[in-house]
Every structure is written in C-alpha cells, then in structure tokens.
Structure 1
Amino acid sequence: MGKHKELILIISLLIGTFLVPINSTMIAVALSTISAHFNEPLANISWVVTIYLIVMAVTQPIAGKLGDIYGNRSIYLWGILFFLIASLGCIFSTNLLLLIIFRSMQAVGGALLTPNTIAIIRYIVPKERLSKVLGVFGMGMGLGAAIGPLLGSVLIENFNLESIFWVNVPFLFVALIGGIFMIPKFNFKRGAHSLDIQGSLYLAISISLLILLTHNLGLTESIIMGIVFILSLILFIKRENTAENPIIDFSLFKNASFTSANLSILLSNFVMYVILLIMPLLMKSQFHLSTGQTGVVLSIFSISMSLSGWIGGLLNNKFGSKKVIGFSFAMIIFSNILFLYLGNFASIIFLIVALIIGGFSTGVGLTSMQVASLDSVNKELSGTASGIYSTFRYFGSIISSTLIALVTSYNYIFIVLGVSGILGLIVAGKIKSDDQDLIRSNNSSAQA
C-alpha cells in the first residue's frame, strides 16, 4: 500500500474511532438537559453514562477476539454500523429506557471499533512507522475526549439535545464508506473458529459487577455483589484455562513485555483519571475558581496529554518503548511532587505549569505502551492483545474512582499517585528492548 493511500485509510479509521471518546465525555454536559427532557431524576439519568462504561469495558476483549476469529476488517465495519444505528436510535428515543438501550449499543459499536482499528493499523503500517502513526492516533483519541464536553455544550446551547447524536451520523457514514472501499482484506490464518460464549458471559458478569461496586451502594448490596463477583471471576479463570479458544489466553501473560505493557497502561490511566476527577474539587476549594474557569484550566491538562502522545510516538522510534515508558513514569513522580506543593503556592501559574507537566507525563508513554503490547504477540493476535490492553485501561479508570471515594486528603492522593509512578518504573524495567535493531536502523536512516 502506497503512503498516500495509507494516509487516507488512517484518516478514515481515525474519523470513526475519534467519535468513541467524544461520545464518552460529551454526554456529561447533557445530563441535566436529559433529566429535564425526559422528566427523570439525575440518579436515573446517570445510567446513560454508567451503561456506556460497563458495556465498553465488557465488550472490548470480546471484540478483539472476534476480530482475530472473523477478521478485524469485518468486525470494524460492524462496529461502525452499530454505532451509526445506535446514534439514530438515541436521536429518536422517546423515553429514558430507550436512550439507555441505544447508548449501550453505541458502546458495543465503540468497543468493536477500538481494538480492531489498532489491529488494522498494525497490518497496514510498516513497523518502522508504527509508533509514529499510533502516536498521531493516540493524540486524536485524546483530543476527542478533551473536546467532547466543549462540543456537547456548544451543540446543546445552539441547537437541541438530539444534536449531540446527530453530529455522529455524517462522520460515521464517511467512515463506513471509507472502510468498505479502503481497508484491504487480510488473509492471515485464524487459530480459532468460534467464540467462547460461556467465558464471555462470566467475563461480562465479572466486569459489570466490578464497575457497579465502585458506585455508592448499601452494605448489603455491596456484600452480595462482591460475593457474586468473586464467584464469577473464579469461574471465568477456570473456564479460560480449559477452553479451546479462550477469550483471554492467560498464557500471553507469561510474556513479561505483554504483562508489563498492560500493567503500565493500567497505572497510567489510573493516574490520569484521578487527576481529572480530583482537580476540579481542588481548584474550587483552594483556588476558588468558577466552574467555567475550572473547565478551561483543566482542559490544559487534557491538551498537554494529547499532544504528548504524538511526541511519545516520535520518542519511541528513537529510544524504544522501555525507555519512553520509564521516562513517562519518572515524569509522573515529578508532576505529583509539584501537585503536593499546590497548597503552599496559591498561584494559578504554578497550577497551570503543574497541569502541563502532569498531562505530558501521562500522555508521553501511551504510544510506547501500545507498541510494547503489540510487539509482544503475533500479528494474528493483534485484536486480542488490543482488547486486553483496552480492558486494562478501563480497569485503571475504575480503580481511580474507588480511590477518590476512600481518600479525603489531597496530599494523600498525590502521594498514592507518586507511588504509582514508582511502581510504573519497576514495571517498565520488565519490558524487553527487542526494538533496538529497529531504533539503530531508524537513527542510521535519519543520519543518512
């Protein structure tokens, strides 16, 4: 595939997957509007957000496995179609239940898209350019999450509630047409021929209950859910160790680089979400910023994180995944030292500098983590690896909300994040430096 055609295909893939993080964060600014529109309390409306998170977390490892069985191209196109139909369903929903159902379908579409897009990119992009392309891709996904609330507020203020779903339709249509005509059909031999339905069911129950346990539940409900969660998790592990075609092949975790890459994204995403959740509270209590000012200042963190994803892709080509991931966690430790001193310096400038460094630290290693995960498995397992990677990413966000609920002191929270950075440095040290020959080759080409 020529570079020009490759570029068009990458743009087409990005158009589709760009909407996944946008729809994840855009809905947050619409909750009060949805409450008024359907005359429902906010407690019920919150399920519009919760169901999206649950279905995305549950479906991604299954979606990656489906791509490896039936072809990443086919599952990607099904993902676009699901997302398109679900967006139209959200537009014409006449009650909250229908909206929640179609939001869950949106999440299914998004989950089918994400791991299979990464697998397709691995097939079509030469290894020497993979980290750069994934860096650009990661930057686009990060910007999607960052602009979601802004786009949602602009659409609702100038049009109506349905406009936040209408905006998906033309982009998804373009992505669908582009995918049909641009994505080549791959002829890799598939090792599995059917999906492990029983294992998928146990996995879905386990992840759903884990997410629900992070919400404010009564003691009795928490105990019951906790017991069912442990039982379903045991059944899942037992099933996967005996299934002919497991959803998650635990033998993959015998590879130190694969395990370390997934633990790295869990720790990094944990740090990122804790900062996103805790900073608005800190800015209001210690800096006395308005809601609007808080949103603007916090967007600096998101933009810094997105741009550093692209920078991380360039650094990965020069220094390799292991060093870039280690550098990312070292910067996380440094940024949280700065956050610890926010109470001593009531300075907006100091806050902004700390957020820029914090955003850079959590974003610069993301591409290298993805590359390390992909490089540790064969190409025909790219979908499975990407699905597991995405699930570990979600686990990081789930753990973050639990920490916020348990710890009340800002300083203790930043200390925990600093410790996470130290753990990340240890984990990064386990990643093999298999890409040194490629790095030397890239450096030689650059010098030539």
Structure 2
Amino acid sequence: MTKSRKILGFIGLILAMFMGALDATIVNIALPDIMENLNTGLTDTSWVATIYVLAMAVFIIPVSKLADVYGRKLVMLIGVVIFGTFSFACMMTDSLFLLIIFRLFQGIGGAILTPIVLPMGIELFGKENTSRITAIMGAFSALAAAGGPVIGGLIIHWTTYHWIFGINVPIAIFAFLMILVGTKESYDLTITKNIDWLGMIFLTCTLGGLTFGLLKGREYGWVSQTIIASFVISVIGLFLFILTERRVKSPIIELKLFKESTFTSSSIIYTKVLRVIYDYHLCLTL
C-alpha cells in the first residue's frame, strides 16, 4: 500500500473518531431548541444526550473484542454506516421518542468508531510510530469533545438543531470511502476466536448500571429506588464479571493486565477524563 493511500486512510480514521467524540458534547447545546421545537420538558429531552453516552459506555469494550476477532476494518466500516445512517435519521425525525431511539443506535456506532482507530492507525504506520499516532488521535479526540459546544452553537446560530446531526452525514460518507480505500484488514492474532458472551453480558450490566446511575442520579435522586437499583445491578454485574473472567479461556478483559503499572495508570487517567465529560454533561443539563 502506497504512503498516500495510508495517509488517506488515516485521515478517514481521524474523521470517524472525530464524529464519535464530537457527538458526546455537541448535542447538549441544542437541548433548549429541541425542547422548544418538540414541545417537551428537560427531563425527557435530556435523554437525547444521555442515551448516546450510555450506549458508548456499554458497547465500547464488547465491539472492540468483536473487531479484534472478525476484522477491525469490517467492524469500523459497519460502525461508520450505522453512525451516518442514524445521524440522518436523527436529523429528519420530529418525534422525541424516535430521536432518543435513533440516538441509541448512533451511540452504538460511536462506540464502534472510538476504540478501533488506534490499532488500525498502528497497523497502517507500524508499532514504531505508536506514540506519534496516539498523540495525534488524542489531540483530535480532545478537540472534538471540547469543540462540540462551539460547533453546535455555530450550527444553531446559522441553521437549526437538525443540522447538529446532519453534519455527520457528509463526514461519514468521506470517512467510509477513505477507510475503504486507505486501510487494510487487521486482526488481533494473539487471541482465540472464542467470544466471551457471558462476560459481555455481565460487563454490559456493570457499565450500563454504573453509567445510568451517574448520569441520572441527580435527576431521579441519589437515594431513589431507581438509582439504588442501578448501582446494585452494577456491583452484582462487576462481581459476576470478575468471577467469569477468571474462569474463561478467552476473557473479554484480561485481568492480569492491571498488574502492569502503565496499563493501570492509563486506565485511571482515562477514567478521570470521562469524569470531566460527565461533569460537563451534568452542568449543561441542569
């Protein structure tokens, strides 16, 4: 593969990642306009933002595992199609219920786009360029998350909130074509083809319960039955997940990795970044 095609593919990966990170914050600025246009309250409308973050948190690890097994390029292209299709659906709908459903699937698409770009980028330019690739993608990811409200504000100022979602459609088309032409298929050859479905279920319960509780705790009340039940499900799911991962031959998360200080440190830092995004989300929905 020529260098120009690799650069084209890398740009496509950055565009895909940029879309996924952008939509975690860009919609928050549009909530007042959505409320006014659809004649709804803040409690119901806030789900437009919440469901996207919830879907990303729940599906980001399982889809990474599926990509390692079935092919990162294939899964990435599917993710771009899902994201672009449901972005268009979000743009066209005038129903809050459908908008929330479409945002759920858009979040699943975002969960596919976000984690796979790094291994695909390393596959393009080699492990010797890992630090440089990580820095570039990290910079664009941070730019997307921080620039979401600004970009969203400009879109609303010049057009309507519908184009908050519509802007993703041409980006998705360009990203799909660039990735299709400029990347090659890759797998994680160090793992088996067996899928830890039970681990995925327990991990989904863990992340889903935790994320829902954190996002909706203030709204429902931290001691409400709904939020308490959400955290209980998360704790039980985590216990069963750890128990499962210690027994299966091909765990979705290799728990021994946490013995590595670098891996553990990076995980803690990423958790703190997610905390910042959560606080920002909370401020905008108050």
Report the TM-score, using the length of structure 1 for normalisation.
0.58
Among all aligned residue pairs of Structure 1 and Structure 2, give the percentage whose two residues are the same amino acid.
29
1:78 equivalent to 2:83? Answer no
Partners of 1:68 and 1:190 within 8 A in 2: no
**Which segment drifts farther, 40-49 or 245-254?**
245-254
Separation (CA, whole Å) in 2 of partners of 1:183 and 1:162: 32
Separation (CA, whole Å) in 1 of partners of 2:269 and 2:147: 25
- Residue number in structure 2 paired with 1:299: none
1:202 equivalent to 2:202? Answer yes
Q: How does 1:158-307 map to 2 (within 5 A)?
A: 158-186=158-186, 189=189, 191-214=191-214, 215-216=217-218, 217-218=220-221, 219-221=223-225, 222-267=227-272, 269-270=274-275, 272-273=276-277
Q: How does 1:103-122 map to 2 (within 5 A)?
A: 103-122=103-122
- Residue number in structure 2 paired with 1:17: 17
Displacement after TM superposition at 1:169 (Å): 0.7
- Residue number in structure 2 paired with 1:96: 96
- Residue number in structure 2 paired with 1:298: none
Listed one character per residue, the Cα deviations across residues 180-226 of structure 1 (whole Å, up to 9, x for unaligned) are: 11111236636222432222121112112112222223424133333
Displacement after TM superposition at 1:103 (Å): 0.7
**Cα RMSD (Å) of the superposition?**
2.5
Partners of 1:202 and 1:236 within 8 A in 2: yes
Displacement after TM superposition at 1:153 (Å): 1.7
Separation (CA, whole Å) in 2 of partners of 1:226 and 1:174: 41
Separation (CA, whole Å) in 1 of partners of 2:277 and 2:75: 29
**Which segment drifts farther, 221-230 or 76-85?**
221-230
Separation (CA, whole Å) in 2 of partners of 1:66 and 1:179: 18
Partners of 2:196 and 2:250 within 8 A in 1: yes
Letter in 1 for 2:38: F
Separation (CA, whole Å) in 1 of partners of 2:43 and 2:36: 13
Structure 2, unaligned runs of 5 or more:
none
Listed one character per residue, the Cα deviations across residues 78-135 of structure 1 (whole Å, up to 9, x for unaligned) are: 1101101111111222311111111111111111111111110121223333222321
Change (3 A) 1:226 1:184: closer
- Residue number in structure 2 paired with 1:156: 156
Structure 1, unaligned runs of 5 or more:
282-404, 406-448
- Residue number in structure 2 paired with 1:308: none
1:53 equivalent to 2:58? Answer no
Separation (CA, whole Å) in 1 of partners of 2:279 and 2:59: 26
Larger radius of gyration: 1
Separation (CA, whole Å) in 2 of partners of 1:152 and 1:165: 10
Listed one character per residue, the Cα deviations across residues 335-382 of structure 1 (whole Å, up to 9, x for unaligned) are: xxxxxxxxxxxxxxxxxxxxxxxxxxxxxxxxxxxxxxxxxxxxxxxx
Separation (CA, whole Å) in 1 of partners of 2:50 and 2:143: 22
Listed one character per residue, the Cα deviations across residues 306-346 of structure 1 (whole Å, up to 9, x for unaligned) are: xxxxxxxxxxxxxxxxxxxxxxxxxxxxxxxxxxxxxxxxx
Partners of 2:68 and 2:187 within 8 A in 1: no
User: Where has structure 1 moved over 4 Å in runs of 4 or more?
Assistant: 272-278
Change (3 A) 1:112 1:241: same
Displacement after TM superposition at 1:268 (Å): 5.2
Letter in 2 for 1:239: T
Change (3 A) 1:90 1:243: same
Listed one character per residue, the Cα deviations across residues 374-414 of structure 1 (whole Å, up to 9, x for unaligned) are: xxxxxxxxxxxxxxxxxxxxxxxxxxxxxxx9xxxxxxxxx
Separation (CA, whole Å) in 2 of partners of 1:173 and 1:266: 31
Displacement after TM superposition at 1:165 (Å): 1.3
Separation (CA, whole Å) in 2 of partners of 1:187 and 1:65: 10
Q: Report SS of the residue matched to 2:27.
A: helix
Partners of 1:79 and 1:109 within 8 A in 2: yes
Partners of 1:69 and 1:190 within 8 A in 2: no
Letter in 2 for 1:183: T
Letter in 1 for 2:242: I
Separation (CA, whole Å) in 1 of partners of 2:71 and 2:278: 36
Letter in 2 for 1:230: V
Letter in 2 for 1:246: P
Greater relative CO (CA pairs within 8 A, separation 6+): 2
